[in-house]
Amino acid sequence: MHFGLDGKLYIAVGENGQAANAQSLSNRLGKMLRINSDGSIPENNPQSFPGVAGRTTGENRAIWALGLRNPFTFAVQPLTGEIMINDVGENSFEEINRGGSGRNYGWPISEGPSSNHNFSSPIFTYQHLRGTPTGCAITGGAFYNPANQKFPHPYLGKYFFSDYCSGWIRYLDPADPKFSTEFDNGLTLPTDLDVGPDGSLNYLDRGTGRVVSIRYTGTTAQAILLSSSQAEVIEGQSAVTSITLAKAPATNVVVNVTGTRTPGTIIGPPSSFTFTPKNWNISQTFRVSPSQDINLFDESATFRFLAPGLASTRLWVNAIDDDKPARAPRALIAMPRNADVVSGTKAEFFGNAFSEGHLVLSSRFFIDGVLQFTDINNTNHYHLGGDHNLWDTTGLTNGWHRLSMRVVDERGFVGAHRIMVYVQN
C-alpha cells in the first residue's frame, strides 16, 4: 500500500491463485485498488475496463486497474506521482507496468508483452529462462528521488527493482525503459527495496534475515546538484528547486542558468548562483513560474545549470494548463524531451495519457502544427507511427521545431502537450 500524490491510498492485490479473478469485476482480486484515506471510494474511480464486460458496483468501485497476477510491490514517484507496478509472472515473464486509471494489464489472457489492444503492455519485462537479465519473481521497487541525494547524479530519478530468485538489483530510466542496468548481485532472496531519508538504498534480505543499507562511499566528483531533475507546476503558480555543489570548491563557483526555447513563458530567476568554500552545501533556491495564458496546452521548458569545468545539469519543467475543463485528460510527451536534439530516420516520438475515470481513445501527433499521425487505442500509451522509432526527421530543416500531442477521451475532452526540439541531421 502507498499513498499517491493525489492523497488517495493505492493497494495492490493478487488474484489468490484463481487466475480468472483478475478479469472479473465481481471481486477485488488481481487488481490495483484506490480508496480515500477514510476508507470511502473516490467518485472518479473508473467503472469500466477495456476487454471486460459490465461495470463495477458497490465495494468493487474501489478497483482502479485490473489484469494483474501478483503485484507484489509497487512504487510512487515522489515528484510526479507516476506509479510503477511489479507483477510477478507464472511461467514466462516478470513485468514492470506503468500504473494508470482504468487499465487492463492482461493476466491471465497474456503474460509479458501483448499486442491485444485492450491490454496495457508492460514497459519492461524479463524472462525466466533466457535473455539478460533472468529471474523468477520481481520483488522490490523504488524510485531514487530522495530529499537528501547521496548517490551520484546519474542515478537520480531511476527506478530500482530486484529479483527474489536471481538475487540482483537493477535499475532503469522511466523515460526510456527499454533497457536495465545491474546495480548489485549476490543477494539472498531480496523481497523489498526502499530509499531512506539519508539517501541510501535499503533492501530486505530474507535469506539472511537482514535489512541491508547501500550507501555511496566513493570519492565525490565536483558537480552541480539539483533537488530534482523535473518539476510540474500549474500556470500562475510556482515550484522551487534547490541547488548545491557536490563538495567544497577550492575557489568560488558561479553557476549560470540558461533557459531553452519553449512555446510558453516559463521564467526561472535568478540567472546565476555563487557558491563558496563555506556555503557550497547550503541550498540556494531556483523558482520556476509559468505565466497565465489562454491556450489549452500543457507546455515545457528546460533550464541548464552551467559552471566552468563542470558538466551541465538540466531541469525539465512541465507547466500544467489551468484553462481545460475539469477532469479533462492530460497528455505528456515522454520522448523526446523538451530541448532534446533529434536526428535520423528512427527517432522516438511517443507519450502517455492520464485520465481520471474516463477512457482515452486516441492521440494525434503534430509537427509545427501539421497533423502527422493518429494513434487509436485505449491503452493510454501512444506513438507517432503506432510504434517506437518510426519518426523520420530527415524531411525537416535543421533547427527548432514544435511537437504537439493531443489526446481525446470518450466524452470528446482534449488534453494537449507541446514541446520544442532541435533537429540536427
Please answer whether residues 380 and 100 qualify as being in contact, where contact means their C-beta atoms are separated by less than 8 angstroms: yes
Q: What is the pLDDT of residue 291?
A: 78
* For residue 333, pLDDT beyond 80: yes
Alpha carbons 54 and 222: distance in angstroms, whole number: 58
pLDDT band at 268 (very low <50, low <70, confident <90, very high): low
Q: Which CATH superfamily hosts domain 330-423? A: Immunoglobulins (2.60.40.10)
213 compared with 321, residue with greater pLDDT? 213
The residue behind cell 526561472 is: 268
pLDDT, tens digit, 9 for 90 and up, residues 280-294: 988 898 888 887 777
Average pLDDT over residues 317-346: 87
DSSP string, 318-345: EEEPSSSPTT--EEEEEES-TT-EE-SS
Q: Comparing C-alpha atoms, which of 22, 36, 98, 92 is closest to residue 354?
A: 98
Alpha carbons 33 and 14: distance in angstroms, whole number: 11
pLDDT, tens digit, 9 for 90 and up, residues 345-391: 999 898 888 877 688 899 999 999 999 999 998 777 889 999 888 99
- Rg of the chain over all Cα atoms, to the nearest angstrom: 22
Q: What is the pLDDT of residue 266?
A: 67
Alpha carbons 44 and 62: distance in angstroms, whole number: 10
Q: Which CATH superfamily hosts domain 224-320? A: Immunoglobulins (2.60.40.10)
* For residue 17, pLDDT beyond 80: yes
| Sequence-separated (6 or more) residues with CB below 8 Å from residue 117 | 50, 377, 378, 379
* For residue 260, pLDDT beyond 70: no
Alpha carbons 106 and 22: distance in angstroms, whole number: 8
pLDDT, tens digit, 9 for 90 and up, residues 19-38: 999 999 999 999 999 999 99
* For residue 331, pLDDT beyond 70: yes
Q: What is the pLDDT of residue 225?
A: 84
Q: Is the pTM of this model over 0.85?
A: no
Q: What is the pLDDT of residue 264?
A: 52
Single-letter amino acid code for the residue at 158:
K
* CA 333 to the chain's CA centroid: 11
* For residue 219, pLDDT beyond 80: no
Average pLDDT over residues 99-108: 95
pLDDT band at 262 (very low <50, low <70, confident <90, very high): low
Q: Quickly count: other Cβ atoms within 10 Å of residue 196's Cβ.
A: 15
pLDDT, tens digit, 9 for 90 and up, residues 127-175: 987 788 999 999 999 999 987 888 887 888 899 999 999 999 999 999 8
Average pLDDT over residues 59-73: 97
- Cell triple for residue 394? 530527415
Least confident of 49-63, 132-146, 251-265, 407-421: 251-265
Least confident of 17-21, 119-123, 333-337, 341-345: 333-337
Alpha carbons 175 and 158: distance in angstroms, whole number: 9
Q: Comparing C-alpha atoms, which of 268, 273, 230, 218 is closest to residue 249?
A: 273
Alpha carbons 89 and 61: distance in angstroms, whole number: 26
Given 2.120.10.30, 3.40.50.620, 3.10.20.30, 3.40.640.10, which CATH number is that of 2-214? 2.120.10.30
Q: What is the pLDDT of residue 343?
A: 95
pLDDT, tens digit, 9 for 90 and up, residues 292-329: 777 788 888 889 999 999 988 888 888 888 887 878 89
Alpha carbons 278 and 247: distance in angstroms, whole number: 10
How is the chain split into domains, by residue range?
A: 2-214, 224-320, 330-423
Equal fold, 2-214 vs 330-423: no
Q: Quickly count: other Cβ atoms within 10 Å of residue 268's Cβ.
A: 21
**Which residues on neighbouring strands pair with residue 403, listed in sequence order?**
367, 419
Compute the C-alpha angle 133/139/145, nearest 5°. Answer: 90
